[in-house]
Amino acid sequence: MKKAPLYSSSRRSPPRQPASPPDGAPVPEDSRKPASPSPAAAASPAPSSTTSIHGKPRRMQRLRSVMARHERLLLVLGSALLTLTLMMAWTASRPLPRELKQEDIDAAVLHTMQEKVMPSAEARAFRAVHPSVVRIRQLGHVDGKEGDVVKGVGTGVVILDKGVILTNLHVVAGAERVQITFADGSVSEAGVMNVQPENDLAVLQAKTIPDDLVAATLRPSRDLAMGDHVIAVGFPFGIGPSVSAGIVSGLKREYRSPEGNKILSNLIQFDAAANPGNSGGPLVTMDGEVVGIVTAILNPGDQGVFIGIGFAVPIENAAAAVGMSPF
């Protein structure tokens, strides 16, 4: 019978451990390497990058989800914030406005006056009163001629927009017919409403009036002073309307008619040119307000033309002639 080897046995001997090198002997390099990980350790998964003990990645996911749901609103808010930021930056970059000084204002006014020609005070006064000035013609029959002829020409001024006109009495005295021509060119017959011989005034009423008739602005003459600038508006010798400028050269004057049978008192003396045909026209301040009715001119000769002195009845006297206060 064949004997089995002495080392053959069902019990396996434990693996031999490498012997420790003696003290002072070099350690082999293989013995210094760390032991290979066990299969179980190798099979365990590495820590995932999507998990954290603090939960930060999960908060990021929730934030992305909120932003995705409100993407349009966030875009609008972002655009508004950007616009506001740009506006604030633009405002901050603008230079501060320079403080205006009196020298700057004077220079601007001077430049405007040099570049643009302004109308004179007389021109502005005429534009203000012109719509209220009318031409008056005295018409009548002359033997040997057919139809009515013009016997006299004068001026009047509208004092009430219903067609009430103030003029001199001598302009319409003895007239068979009175014809009015308004500033717009329309013509109307007129009748005499009232007269005031002591002030040489007459009040007329036009039978037809323009739709846009404008009454003149009246001003008391008590505020006048010698040297104040005035204009006289009328139809001298039937030409017009014409305007002449001058100053108030006297107050509370008296005038005796050439026939010597009439004395007018409390008159305004002026040196603006006036001639036959100006009678009954307005004497006007630089504000365009009527202070008197041109009545007479003084000429020691027989020419009957203006030589530098004219007279106007104060507008206050129109109150009694019209029967009401004009102010």
Instruction: Write out the catalytic residue numbers.
Output: 170, 200, 279
Cα–Cα distance, 53 to 308 (Å, whole number): 115
Half-sphere CA count of 96, side-chain side, radius 13 A: 3
Taking CA atoms, 272 is separated from 58, 76, 306, in Å, by: 101, 75, 9
Taking CA atoms, 176 is separated from 151, 191, 203, in Å, by: 10, 10, 16
Cα–Cα distance, 205 to 164 (Å, whole number): 5
Token pair for residue 273?
Answer: 């040119």
Helix (H, G, I), strand (E, B) or coil at 302: coil
Asked whether the beta carbons of 292 and 286 are under 8 A apart, the reply is no
Taking CA atoms, 124 is separated from 121, 218, 259, in Å, by: 5, 16, 38
The DSSP code for 220 is -
Cα–Cα distance, 292 to 153 (Å, whole number): 19
Token pair for residue 85?
Answer: 């930021």
The continuous run of DSSP H or E covering 58 comes out as helix 56-69
